[in-house]
Structure 1
Amino acid sequence: MSRSQDPQRPLFPFGNPIRMILPKTSNLSPRLLAILNSFEETMSERLKTLRPKDSENILSLSWMISALKSLSAIHNDVKSLITSLELAVSDWNEKWIDVYLDNSVKLLDVCIAFSSEISRLSQGHLFLKCSLHNLDCATPQQFTKARSSLDGWKQHVSSKNPRLQKCFGILDDLINTLDLPKIKNSSKGKVLMHAMYGVRVVTVFICGVIAAAFSCSAEKLSDLKAPETCLWAEAFTNLQVFGHGQIRNVLSTGKVTAINECYLVDASVMKLCRLTQHGDDTEAMRSSITDLREGVDRLSQRLDLLAKEVDVFFQILLTGRNALLGNIRIGSDFSNSMQKNNYAEGPTVR
């Protein structure tokens, strides 16, 4: 994955995949062209809804929830496109199947990494609940216990998740394999590969943003270029420019936690740490406790919602893989390699 300090490298080392998949000279039937255009226009509209307003923060759990909902919808749109194309699995090129299975298993691992990080943040939430319980008692002894819990939160939220770090290498691999083989003698195949390419670009972008937010590192971002031939290109570029720009600006300040909901909680924690040193039950103390309680409730609710969306996306990927594997002819030369890629787990922390 390209890093901000690295020289700019060409995104397509083997040529523009879109030019190979669907050159301008391709003669698609009006029906196939309508199917493709409908898919791309829908994806464009989904991307536009993810463009935050200038005052909103893309580094938030609420944006991640919306982004994963849109991503799940886009992956479901591909299933509908395949149905519309009436392209049976038996007509798929083995290379397409190989690419699909390889990418999907990598994305399943990304989902597991995200679930692990959500679980880690949820565990940190226990420190905050314990602290609030002790602060409600308003005694010097309980203030001491509260400070200990608040310190526990600060240490926990600043720690690193090894599972999360591994997913950046996975995203690297997905970017490095964005190029696709030239499709010959299959107009339906060209439409399918054209659509799947767009899905892969958007998937890598959204997963990259979430991973960068969780890791609090802008170096993990990769700027992808959308070919102008795609109807979703403008919406994607606008979203990426705004999103990556905002993330880099926020993370350049050296924040320990970049996610908005966590940052607000952390600000309340820091304020309460100062106030509890004196042990006074002041109005400022009570106001800060209220702020922390509201922030903790918001954080908990959104972590739960995000966990559900990660699971939905995981199940969509898994269902698609299983459906494809179930339709592969038994005894084909390709079946053994595909069986090694089979996945049966949910996005649970292992």
Structure 2
Amino acid sequence: MSRSEGPHRPFLPIGNPFKMMMHKSSHQPSTVLTAYEKNLAERFRQLKPNNANDVITFSWMKSALGSICETLHDVRKLIVDLELPICSWDIKWVDMYLENSLNLLDFCSAYGTDIVRQRFGYVMLKCALRDLESDHPQKLMQASSSLHEWRQYQSRYDNSKLQDCCDIICKLEATLNLPKIKNIPKAKDLVRAMYGLKVQTMFIFSTCVAAFSTSPRPLVELQVPKLYLWQESFTDLQTVINGEIKIIYATAKFSPLKELRIIDQNVKKLYPLLHEGLGEVTQEVFDGYCSNLMESNEKFLSGLDELKSEMDHFFKVVVDGRMALLDNFQQQPPRCGIQQVRM
């Protein structure tokens, strides 16, 4: 699907988008919510890379998606621990939960399609390496063409699926403003917990989109009120990750994803030799270049498969959460009746 070109708006406007939120309230979080927020803070700390050069890797993205799954489990546990049954929920909370979870599923679908697209890039390089095993001039020309096509393929900014992912993140942004809650402490705890989950999800999703983008895309840059126990660790993580991504784009490096950058470096070494000849480069060095490209390409495929597996697991966790909520609907409908929601 083609889209009109133009500057991408940032996910959030300049300034504090949360000035109308509950941080003006005197509500004190319960012990249950405090434990939830401390766990979330620790997850953000664990996601901060020890080395800035490790921003971003398949391993990091896998861990990041896994951390969202852990938070989703914590939200379900918090609902039980708060003793807040569905029958006491306001219908707008139910709508919010279902709509947000639907956005998560839509993201999984769009991003999964781009993972498949990345596998095609792997096949391109696999074909090029096979042609490089031959001394026939025509095969070498085919290898050169495959390497060139790979760089062109990766550099296509107008990828509709990645743009779809950005659009979904914008939908999540639109739900960040917390709904007005009556003076029910348990309800306020639930909505506050959901806010933390959405911030975590938006940030990790935008980073995953940037990983496969060879041209700059807008990054989630959130200003979280200090009342949240995870605010400091999240802000620290966001500063490190977004700062390194911006440096990568500013220095014209190929991609924020480390595994893609390594492949590109190997392609750059091989491609000129197929046109200009080996020159002072020995056959042994040339073979070493081919071997390095093969190794980095196989590692890329392995990382891609692991990411796909984690994304499938994430999808299942979200679906299971929706099904559990819908099952509870049949047993104990929420207050105000059930309004129609997107399924």
- Considering the TM-score relative to the shorter chain, is it more than 0.5? yes
Taking a change above 3 Å as real, the CA distance of residues 234 and 218 of structure 1, as seen in their structure-2 partners, is farther
Shift of 1:278: 4.5
Q: Which residue of 2 aligns with 1:73?
A: 70
Taking a change above 3 Å as real, the CA distance of residues 142 and 219 of structure 1, as seen in their structure-2 partners, is closer
Aligned mates of 2:153, 2:275 — CA distance in 1: 21
Deviation digits for residues 305-335 of structure 1, max 9, x if unmatched? 1111111111111111122122224898754
Checking the alignment, whether the CA contact within 8 Å between 2:127 and 2:146 is kept in structure 1 is yes
Deviation digits for residues 5-40 of structure 1, max 9, x if unmatched? x9724313xx342326xx33x366xxxx22111111
Q: Which residue of 1 aligns with 2:114?
A: 117
> Are residues 1:19 and 2:23 paired?
yes
Please say which of residues 185-194 and 115-124 is displaced more in the overlay. 185-194
Alignment partner of 1:237 out of 218, 235, 238: 235
Q: Which residue of 1 aligns with 2:3?
A: none
* Structure 1 length-normalised TM: 0.87
Checking the alignment, whether the CA contact within 8 Å between 1:139 and 1:279 is kept in structure 2 is no
Please give the residue correspondences for 1:43-192 in structure 2 after superposition, counting only pairs within 5 Å: 43-159=40-156, 160-192=158-190
SS at structure 2 position matched to 1:215: coil
SS at structure 2 position matched to 1:308: helix
Structural RMSD (CA): 2.3
Equivalent AA in structure 1 for residue 328 of structure 2: N
Checking the alignment, whether the CA contact within 8 Å between 1:18 and 1:227 is kept in structure 2 is no
Taking a change above 3 Å as real, the CA distance of residues 7 and 305 of structure 1, as seen in their structure-2 partners, is closer
Shift of 1:185: 3.8
Q: Which residue of 1 aligns with 2:39?
A: 42
Give the aligned length. 330
SS at structure 2 position matched to 1:297: helix
Q: Identity of paired residues, percent?
A: 36
SS at structure 1 position matched to 2:54: coil
Checking the alignment, whether the CA contact within 8 Å between 1:2 and 1:222 is kept in structure 2 is no
Aligned mates of 1:101, 1:202 — CA distance in 2: 17
SS at structure 2 position matched to 1:328: helix
Q: Which residue of 2 aligns with 1:348?
A: none
What stretches of structure 1 of length at least 5 have no aligned partner?
343-350
Equivalent AA in structure 1 for residue 16 of structure 2: P
> Are residues 1:8 and 2:6 paired?
no
What stretches of structure 2 of length at least 5 have no aligned partner?
1-7
* Structure 2 length-normalised TM: 0.89
Taking a change above 3 Å as real, the CA distance of residues 7 and 194 of structure 1, as seen in their structure-2 partners, is closer
Regions of 4+ moved over 6 Å? 330-333
Please give the residue correspondences for 1:243-254 in structure 2 after superposition, counting only pairs within 5 Å: 243-254=241-252
Q: Which residue of 2 aligns with 1:214?
A: 212
SS at structure 2 position matched to 1:227: coil
